[in-house]
Structure 1
Amino acid sequence: MTDEIVSADECFSGGTMPDVSITPARPDQLDAAAAVLAEGFRDDPVMQGFVPRGPRRHARLVELFAAMMRSIPSTRRAVDVAVVDGDVVGAAVWEAPRTRASSAMRLPVSWEELGQLPRYLRALGLGGLVPAARRQASLAAPRPRLPHWYLGEIAVGDAARGLGVGTSLIEHRLAAVDEAGDAAYLESSTERNRALYRRMGFVELGPIRGLPGATPAAMWRPARGAAGPA
């Protein structure tokens, strides 16, 4: 569930443009990244199916994003953050391609996911775990079988809207993806963001079904000079 970002085309009305640096997240920045993701996804139609509106929704979203980030094995997790004056104002969570060995050893539930179960329970509640797993399976179903980088989540905080932070976050990681000759994949909930992704070389594979209240699009960016997904 890749969105929610804001296009660089939006105007910034906060006065002097601040300096934005894009760096890999330090371990002590993961919680701040989760808070930015929760802020950016508060109105996302896909995320509302995971955490409906209600009491403590922001805190529950923070817990969910913190759990999702830490559920990715550290050897394959790549979290990039946008920082202004020491504060995290944007975050992008990527998953590196699986090796053949790791794909063969893939379990239905990883040790990392089991370790985050308390966070998932605080975010979703006991009754929300199974519906969330079903929604996640619907999201995962269209992912191509070819090795690829997966942009799981990206968001920009309210204070940094219109600075081009979302674009900078994606371009930062895509430079490394292209250098390695890899492909990339994401899901997008809104046409506005899909237009931005198309400008970055992503193409739509089609709508993702099975998510009541939302129909995100699967988007693929072939490795430079490579054919499309199988």
Structure 2
Amino acid sequence: MPRLTIRPSGPPEFDAVLPMCVEAFADEAVSAWVEPEPERRHERTRELFTSSLRAAVDAGQLVVAFLPGGEPVAGSVWADLDGAPPVPELPDDDRPVSRRLFAVLSATGSRHPAVPHVYLSAMAALPRHRGHGAGAAILRYGLDRARDRGLPVYLEASTPRNQRFYARHGFQDHGEPVRLPDGGPVLQPMWHGTQ
């Protein structure tokens, strides 16, 4: 793979990074459980990601891997938290997608450490760029930034493969797995002290 540039994405790049993130995250285990219909998943992922991704870009929390020509190929969201995130509000619609998203946010939010930390809430690469080092490069970048600020990093691994990947980079299991309802994925909380 060509040399990647890893950096936070800026607001002017939002229109370029949104489609990449939608494609990269649409087949992730939690996204696939939230919207189980493959033919609707990209549209639903775009719908669910647009506002939260814009907020992440505006806050400098979306770290992206760019090819030399400027094409984004992988992204990750790193949010500073003082403890557990706010409890989400119960959705006012009855769509299964909304209920499942609420279930994810409720189940994972309650497991956050009560100390200041960086939350790696999402990370994925475009399917054609997986296994070529973009994820590892983004992870090293994010861990270095957290280490420079003296903050540990918390995440939930959504598959055993992801859990092994994070473990290779110094993350350790952090408590019991989070079991999503209705046959959803089992998420493993993980912690990196960044010493």
Q: Into which bin does the TM-score normalised by the smaller protein fall?
A: 0.7 to 0.9
For 1:36, the aligned partner's letter is M
Check conservation: 1:149, 1:177, Cα contact below 8 A: yes
- Unaligned 5+ segments in structure 2 are none
- Give the superposition deviation at 1:71: 4.8
Seen in structure 2, the aligned counterparts of structure 1 residues 55 and 192 have a Cα distance that, compared at 3 Å, is closer
Which of the numbers 80, 91, 107 marks the counterpart of 1:138? 107
For 1:61, the aligned partner's letter is T
Number of corresponding residues: 190
- Residue identity over aligned pairs, in percent, reads 28
- Give the superposition deviation at 1:55: 3.7
Seen in structure 2, the aligned counterparts of structure 1 residues 31 and 63 have a Cα distance that, compared at 3 Å, is farther
- Say which SS state the counterpart of residue 211 (structure 1) adopts: coil
Q: Which runs of 4+ in 1 moved over 6 A?
A: none
5 Å-filtered alignment, 1:64-143, equals: 64-71=48-55, 74-75=58-59, 77-84=60-67, 85-98=69-82, 127=95, 128-143=97-112
1:186 maps to: 155
- Asked if 1:43 corresponds to 2:20, the answer is no
Check conservation: 2:87, 2:109, Cα contact below 8 A: no
Counterparts of 1:108 and 1:195 in 2: how far apart (Å)?
Answer: 29
Counterparts of 1:209 and 1:198 in 2: how far apart (Å)?
Answer: 20
Deviations 1:28-55 (A, max 9, x none): 3234333333323333332223222154
- Say which SS state the counterpart of residue 175 (structure 1) adopts: helix
- Give the superposition deviation at 1:148: 0.4
Larger Rg: 1
Which of the numbers 62, 81, 89 marks the counterpart of 2:46? 62
- Say which SS state the counterpart of residue 145 (structure 1) adopts: coil
1:227 maps to: none
Report which stretch shifted further, 47-56 or 156-165.
Answer: 47-56
- Say which SS state the counterpart of residue 186 (structure 2) adopts: coil
TM-score, normalised relative to structure 2? 0.83
TM-score, normalised relative to structure 1? 0.72
5 Å-filtered alignment, 1:163-174, equals: 163-174=132-143
- Say which SS state the counterpart of residue 20 (structure 2) adopts: helix
- Give the superposition deviation at 1:67: 2.4
- Unaligned 5+ segments in structure 1 are 1-16, 111-119, 225-230
Q: Which of structures 1 and 2 has the larger relative contact order (alpha carbons within 8 angstroms, sep 6+)?
A: 1
- Give the superposition deviation at 1:82: 0.8
Counterparts of 1:177 and 1:135 in 2: how far apart (Å)?
Answer: 25
- Give the superposition deviation at 1:223: 4.3
Let me know the Cα RMSD of the aligned residues: 2.8
1:27 maps to: 11
- Asked if 1:176 corresponds to 2:159, the answer is no
- Give the superposition deviation at 1:220: 0.8
Deviations 1:52-105 (A, max 9, x none): 215432122122222222355945x51111111221111111101339xxx9xx
Check conservation: 1:184, 1:222, Cα contact below 8 A: yes
